[in-house]
Amino acid sequence: MSVAVHPTAQVDPEAQIEDGVVIGPYCVIDRRVRIGRGTELGAFVRICDCVEIGPSCRIYDHVVLGRDPQDFGFKGEESWVRIGSGVVIRENVTIHRASGEGNETRVGDGTYLMEGCHLGHNVEVGERCVLANKVGLAGYARVGDRVTIGGMAGVHQFVTIGRSCMIGGLSKVVKDVPPFTLADGRPARIHGLNKVGLRRQGFTPEERRRIREVYDLLRTGSLPLRQGLKSLLEECGQDPVVRELWEFMSRCRRGWTPWAHRSEVEED
């Protein structure tokens, strides 16, 4: 198996290109680039220095990976973009290098980035996520595994979105979104659990019921959120849902996205 490079492409001879890679017309690939086995690049793809792409990825036309971060604090230090295996990156996506020596902007295995998405510096996207057209993640945003974000949603810098969430299209996400929830709006509010997503991801009825019970206790209890979650942790510290929510709360930097008005919350 060999590498197929279109004659119009410019590939630095020191770039590390594995077998089975296809490089389309007018691509430009810099020296400090690694591309995994079987990855395919469409036309006019720009891969800058300090980018690592895993195997079996599909990168469409006019994608730009590894440009300098849009961060006034960046001073030219070495940082990376690292793309996992089986990632699909559609047309016009831009992913910037991280700010800070040795840091990275990262996309997990099996994630699908639709047309026009932007991932800013130091962003982390988990495995098997779907970001629809024109989603923008500002610097240091973190997205857990198997999250779906609707088209043209914007995520504020330093925001964390927990795993298995659904974010509605056109949402403005300015606070952390806890795991398993459905958030929508400007600014985003939680409208219930991501029921459809949890079923599709293989959560059992018992697991879904327990997630709903824990959130109901937090919503209807008399204690403030952090105190209520701490109380649940003391009562049932081995419960995996409670522990995951407590760990998420402990890492919150932007505060927890509030629930919508009760009449707007989706109930089972």
pLDDT recorded at residue 10: 98
Contact 99, 123 (CB under 8 A): no
Res 264 pLDDT > 60: no
User: Look-up: residue for tokens 């020191």?
Assistant: 14
Contact 257, 175 (CB under 8 A): yes
- Give per-residue pLDDT as tens, 45-94: 999 999 999 999 999 999 999 999 999 999 999 999 999 999 999 999 99
Q: Per the structure block, which two tokens stand in for 52?
A: 């690592």
In order of 109, 154, 160, 208, the CA distances from 99 in angstroms are: 22, 20, 18, 38
- Give per-residue pLDDT as tens, 94-149: 999 999 999 999 999 999 999 999 999 999 999 999 999 999 999 999 999 999 99
267 Cβ neighbours under 8 A, 6+ residues apart: 192
Determine the Cα–Cα distance for residues 162 and 181; give it in Å rounded to an integer.
8
pLDDT recorded at residue 34: 98
- Give per-residue pLDDT as tens, 207-241: 999 999 999 999 887 788 889 999 988 988 789 99
Largest CA distance in the chain: 68
Q: What is the mean pLDDT of residues 252-257?
A: 93
Determine the Cα–Cα distance for residues 120 and 123; give it in Å rounded to an integer.
6
Determine the Cα–Cα distance for residues 224 and 213; give it in Å rounded to an integer.
17
Q: What is the mean pLDDT of residues 189-213?
A: 97
Res 262 pLDDT > 80: no
DSSP 257: P
pLDDT recorded at residue 225: 87
Confidence of residue 265 (pLDDT cuts 50, 70, 90): low
Confidence of residue 268 (pLDDT cuts 50, 70, 90): low
- Measuring CA to CA, which residue among 56, 52, 53 is closest to residue 39? 56
